[in-house]
Structure 1
Amino acid sequence: MQEWEEWIPYGPSLEAEGFSQLKELSIVNCSKLVGRLPECLPSLEKLVVRNCEKLLVPVSAFPALYRLEIDGCKEIVQRSAANLSSLSSVVLSDISSQVFVEQFMQRLSKVEHLKIVGCKELTFLWQNGIELLQTISQLHRLEIKRCPQLLSVVAEEENQQQQWLACSCRLQYLELSDCKCLVKLPQELHRISSLRKICISNCPELVSFPETGLPLQLRFIEIGGCKALKSLPEAWMSTTTTTTTYLESLSIKYCGSLLYVARIQLPMSLKRLEITSCHNLRSLIDNNEAPIICSSSLEYLDIRDCSSLTYLWPKRELPVTLQHIKVVKCSKLESIAERFESNTSLESIKISQCENLKLLPDDLHKLYPLSKVFISLCPNLVSFPEGGLYCKNLTEICMIGCEKLVALPMSSTI
């Protein structure tokens, strides 16, 4: 309905009595539609407005509204005393005024999902006023995207921050993306005990995370495009009587300044680690004299396009629990491990585009669970170890583009 220009009222009162039972309303790509929506929609529960640049939207007029999505309109109209307590899901896109966002959020008391996209003036989501922070006690999911002036989620006044954390005790998912001025996260983030997943992407000014532990329920962390990030807090990695982490999955991508993942050890609970396009990464563990980290729970390791990576672990040993390892396009890596002697779990090995790889560990034949070996485009791989590939569970071997490899060991069987 791109040619729609005017909302035609129903009945002599110039209101919309004819839609008194309307529950869902979507108005999309009506760029010529002017005026405002009717205010007499008492049963409206879901309202979606997208790309209606000339339309006024009176959201405070709908007492039953629980889901609101507005992306591009002339103005959102709200009465000063309006109660928006029925709203549980709110998506606001391309809202230019931070003042409006603050005033609007003051009236939210039961919102569970809040997504703000493209608010060009937003510097803090919660900036001042304890009463403002008390309105979000039900929040489960918070997403902030494409807010170029955002410096932090909450202003740093201590009383406000503590109040925000107390009110956010039900928050489970936090996502911040494409916020080019974001420099920090709340220092007391670890106190949000309900938080299960954090996603931070394309925030190039974020230098570090708070030097505190992780929330007790946090299981998944995804970090991408944080070009200034050099390391992760050591408090995330260690397990002591005062700090216990249960992190299961960690993904880091396109963080060009990252030198290492952990200084001494990875979280003991970590099962999955993915690292992509971190070109300054030299090792997963920084300290070459650190104790052997074979007591971790890591099961899946995927490393891609890390051109400075020279070795994986100190002592050149892999965790005993590791089941799948994938290393792709790591040009300086000479070996994935010195030996497999202590590993009893490895099922698959995939190595590709590692130009410096010359040898595989001598005790490769001791990997009894091993079922798949895939090696491609490793031009300096000279030979397999003398022990061969005598693994009773081995079902697949694929070798592509290994120019210096003369033959497989005689003892290799499939």
Structure 2
Amino acid sequence: MVSIFPTSQAEIDSTYPSLKSIELWSCPRLESFSGMGFPSNLKKLDISGCPMLIANRMKWDLQRLSSLQSLELSLSLQTVNEIEGAVDSFPEEGLLPSTLTSLSISSFQTLKTLNGKSFHNLTSLQELQICFCEELQCLPEEGLPLSLARLVIFGSPMLEQRCQRGTGEDWPKIQHIPYIEIGYKEI
């Protein structure tokens, strides 16, 4: 399978009027959803083990999904080396809608930076989870959205060190967040 969904937005919405959640797992050859993207009423999107699809994420047109609240992206350890055009910064400007309340990124082995401008556009974001991003060195200079109520980081040693309560270099950027879990421990 290399593509799913019909080819026009009206056809997508009329064919899938009740579709609120999509989970795609272990489709290493899947490259796109269609030229028209996702159903407009989508609330949750979970993509894991689909490196070609994640490599083409700028074609997803998530900005137009005003109902999207939850996004989970994982390259999975088995597919990390298969991705074309490694992810070194995330999220790109214009990729994510401001309606997101939950974002999880996992196993982005080449991720080195988080885009602060893009994060500040996520004005509804309440939960952020960063897992197994071993090359991620620090949080954005601009910090994270003030709306964030829950931050979970594990499997990302450099970032975990920088986010330690009181002593970490990034602690001032996250101390406003009510619930913080670093390395499987609430701090």
- Displacement of 1:79 in angstroms is 3.3
Please say if residues 31 and 56 of structure 2, whose CA atoms lie closer than 8 Å, have aligned partners that are also in contact. Answer: no
Cα deviation 1:43-80 (Å, max 9, x = unaligned): xxxxxxxxxxxxxxxxxxxxxxxxxxxxxxx5655432
Please say if residues 6 and 12 of structure 2, whose CA atoms lie closer than 8 Å, have aligned partners that are also in contact. Answer: no
Cα deviation 1:225-280 (Å, max 9, x = unaligned): 11333524867626xxxxx97411111118xxxxxxxxxxxxxxxxxx73xxxxxx
Gaps spanning 5+ residues in structure 1: where? 1-73, 156-160, 239-243, 255-272, 275-300, 302-414
Q: Quick one: distance in 2 between partners of 1:180 and 1:169?
A: 26
* 1:94 and 2:26 matched: yes
Mapping 1:387-406, distance limit 5 Å: none
State which of 50, 58, 61 in structure 2 corresponds to 1:127.
58
State which of 12, 23, 27 in structure 2 corresponds to 1:84.
12
**Corresponding position of 2:105:** 176
Mapping 1:38-49, distance limit 5 Å: none
Q: Quick one: distance in 2 between partners of 1:123 and 1:115?
A: 11
Please say if residues 216 and 245 of structure 1, whose CA atoms lie closer than 8 Å, have aligned partners that are also in contact. Answer: no
AA aligned to 2:12 is L
**Corresponding position of 1:253:** 183
**Corresponding position of 1:228:** 158
Gaps spanning 5+ residues in structure 2: where? none
Q: Quick one: distance in 1 between partners of 2:62 and 2:4?
A: 22
Mapping 1:252-331, distance limit 5 Å: 252-253=182-183, 274=186
Q: Quick one: distance in 1 between partners of 2:148 and 2:36?
A: 26
The alpha-carbon distance between structure 1 residues 112 and 210, as it changes in their structure 2 partners (threshold 3 A), is same
AA aligned to 1:136 is L
3-state SS in 2 of match to 1:121: helix
State which of 44, 60, 66 in structure 2 corresponds to 1:113.
44
3-state SS in 1 of match to 2:114: coil
3-state SS in 1 of match to 2:23: strand
**Corresponding position of 1:141:** 70
Higher Cα Rg, which structure: 1
Please say if residues 110 and 136 of structure 1, whose CA atoms lie closer than 8 Å, have aligned partners that are also in contact. Answer: yes
- Displacement of 1:100 in angstroms is 1.6
Mapping 1:373-388, distance limit 5 Å: none
- Displacement of 1:180 in angstroms is 1.7
* 1:212 and 2:128 matched: no
AA aligned to 2:129 is C
Q: Quick one: distance in 1 between partners of 2:36 and 2:138?
A: 29
State which of 111, 125, 137 in structure 2 corresponds to 1:195.
125
| More helix, by proportion | 2
Q: Quick one: distance in 2 between partners of 1:88 and 1:117?
A: 18
- Displacement of 1:220 in angstroms is 0.9
Please say if residues 69 and 101 of structure 2, whose CA atoms lie closer than 8 Å, have aligned partners that are also in contact. Answer: yes
Q: Quick one: distance in 1 between partners of 2:109 and 2:12?
A: 31
- Comparing 213-222 with 109-118, greater Cα deviation is found at 213-222
Percent identity over the alignment is 27
AA aligned to 2:45 is L
TM-score by length of structure 1 reads 0.36
Between 1 and 2, higher relative CO (CA 8 Å, sep ≥ 6) is seen in 2
Cα deviation 1:288-311 (Å, max 9, x = unaligned): xxxxxxxxxxxxx5xxxxxxxxxx
| More strand, by proportion | 1
AA aligned to 1:175 is S
Q: Quick one: distance in 1 between partners of 2:5 and 2:54?
A: 22
Cα deviation 1:347-405 (Å, max 9, x = unaligned): xxxxxxxxxxxxxxxxxxxxxxxxxxxxxxxxxxxxxxxxxxxxxxxxxxxxxxxxxxx
AA aligned to 1:252 is I
3-state SS in 2 of match to 1:204: coil
AA aligned to 2:104 is E
3-state SS in 2 of match to 1:144: strand
Q: Quick one: distance in 1 between partners of 2:72 and 2:137?
A: 20
Q: Quick one: distance in 2 between partners of 1:220 and 1:105?
A: 33
3-state SS in 1 of match to 2:51: coil
Please say if residues 124 and 153 of structure 1, whose CA atoms lie closer than 8 Å, have aligned partners that are also in contact. Answer: no
